[in-house]
A and B are shown apart, each in its own frame.
Chain A
């Protein structure tokens, strides 16, 4: 009897492991519209109203717990913030002066304003209803989907800056891959007229992004702001439109043996505390970016 139980237990274990590996294999090889993907989207769509309800109901408790954690962190950051505030006041005065000049130059050169480019998109506001529990998948689910016009590869922002882009959709929800996910890479440009590189995350540290492909001889300074590059050569283009703020340079190391600098960027959007986001739908077609 006991042997029979042991045999059965082992059989169940082996069957479950094999089933997991088969799912993993199919999940990697199957197209988005395959039967497994369709089933997955069906389960996600069926459970998204429950997630939405749970997310709203549990938000006060979530905020309370995070408030304790943030208060603990804020004590250490207070002094640094005071110093930064003093520096920013000086910079603000310079920036206001530069802004006025900039407007005049723009009018003269008839350059397209980044805000004008973003104005071509329809903004669909969504609420984050679920997020991945591991650092290996920096993804969130939002409560807007194809029924609101959301499509794969649409850019997602919040009040602070770039958040990510839509990677999967269902009728009533969408998966957003954050810029801190290891599969993410964003073409970016340093302001005001700095070089372009690719922003990639460092798995395990959502507060640190790396700006890659910046040559050693390029001048990169702490505090420089990074925006999406939005390049296009007519056949292929960057997935994100031009001018969305990504973050600020906190450190730049030029190694002697390396051809590129190690530029660390602090993202503006707090990926750990996302609630409301905006999906930029429609807009001008970007060659090479599938919808």
Chain B
């Protein structure tokens, strides 16, 4: 993703909005015994759209913000969210997101992994009481809910971030390129396709 200042502002607004909606709305819901984790899904989608660095940075910021808002122990949510954001981004950089179900399936898997990682960190930090097996059910249901949430969120966030999306390389993989290299490729290959590309003259930022 080509992170221009305008796009950085959009990313920041998305992260803040996701945190507010999570703590004020989704955290109150109990569906099949679990709370939907929309924040994790948003970070995964940002990783899938923007790459590893964008996913990790947004995950770190979102975790820091949610822990601050709820006056919780700082660092735990950041660690978990940056990990799943980075993994989603790495997938994006290495593989094609071809099918319609690819993003929801990845969101489901990574959200469940994030919940599992969060539980592991908590257990390492020390839990003084018994832990119910229902925690496992919660992790699985969170994954299922993430699958459902990822479909509309992926479409919505792709639309919002369209100006900065990554182009496809000749090999079929997707890589983020610098503005200079973008122009060079255009010259050498004639008409390099830009998926929702931004005109090169407007590019100021470096690639992520």
Which chain B residue shows the least CB distance to A10? B52
Contact (Cβ within 8 A) A20 B86: no
Number of interface residues of A (CB under 8 A): 64
Which chain B residue shows the least CB distance to A30? B74
With contacts A44-B71, A54-B24 known, is A208 near B207, CB below 8 A?
A: no
In the complex, which of the residues B26, B79, B127 contacts A21, with contact meaning CB atoms closer than 8 Å? Answer: B79
Residues of B within 8 A of A17 (CB): 79, 82
Q: Which chain B residues numbered 73 to 109 have a C-beta less than 8 Å away from chain A?
A: 73-76, 78-79, 82, 86
Number of interface residues of B (CB under 8 A): 60
Contact (Cβ within 8 A) A54 B25: yes
Give 8 A-B contacts (CB < 8 Å), ordered by A residue.
A23-B74, A55-B24, A133-B26, A133-B35, A139-B72, A200-B129, A204-B137, A272-B30
Contact (Cβ within 8 A) B118 A134: yes
> B residues touching A (Cβ–Cβ < 8 Å)?
20-32, 35, 37, 39, 52-53, 56-57, 60, 63-76, 78-79, 82, 86, 115, 118-119, 122, 125, 127-135, 137-138, 175-176, 178, 181, 207
With contacts A17-B82, A133-B39, A134-B118 known, is A44 near B56, CB below 8 A?
A: no
Contact (Cβ within 8 A) A141 B69: yes
CA distance A44 to B64 in the complex (A): 11
| Given A9-B52, A17-B79, A66-B28, 16 further pairs, Cβ under 8 A | A5-B207, A21-B75, A25-B75, A27-B75, A28-B73, A43-B65, A62-B29, A69-B30, A130-B27, A131-B27, A133-B37, A182-B129, A200-B130, A205-B132, A208-B132, A210-B130
Which chain A residue shows the least CB distance to B68? A43
Contact (Cβ within 8 A) B70 A139: yes
> A residues touching B (Cβ–Cβ < 8 Å)?
1-2, 5, 8-9, 12-13, 16-17, 19-28, 36, 39-41, 43-44, 47, 50-51, 54-55, 58, 61-62, 65-66, 69, 129-137, 139, 141, 167-168, 170, 175, 182-183, 185, 200-205, 208, 210, 272-273
